Amino acid sequence: MIKIFEFLYPKAIILELQSKDKKGAVSELVECVMKEKKLKDSNKAIASVMEREKLGTTGIGQGVAIPHGRTDAVSDLVGAVGISRQGVEFEALDGEPVHIIFLLLSPPDSGGQHLRALAKVSRLCKDKFFRQALLESKSKEEVLKIIQQEDEL
């Protein structure tokens, strides 16, 4: 069973996303991953995620988006989380702004792991108590703790 904790790093959490649009929010999260030195090329990573978005929005509804892409800009699965109090226009399936964004990046050859990570994040984000706890968190440590508690289940 894959654990989010294995690919989410403390510096890759943004409590107050500044961007109000999809590409801006993805760029902010990619920059966080860059700071963790887990990414070779931020432009390539952003391009892979935006290319995936062309196939259909990753705004899954209920205020959540899980943008993701496969790129050789990473050598392992990496994730980032952004929380937006004001909401990001993400063309979500339900037409609502997105407040929680989980970014996933993985190498081109990591199909199974990529899909398991997506499934795990998606399953967690369907839980309204989990979403509420993330939105109410006041620190990166609190976000990590909430995710870690869910990871244990």
Contact between 46 and 29 under an 8 Å Cβ cutoff? The reply is no
CA atoms within 13 A on the CB side of 150: 21
Query: Look-up: residue for tokens 């399936």?
Result: 93
Catalytic residue numbers read 68
The CA R_g of the chain, rounded to the nearest whole Å, is 14
> Of 151, 73, 80, which Cα lies nearest the Cα of 106?
73
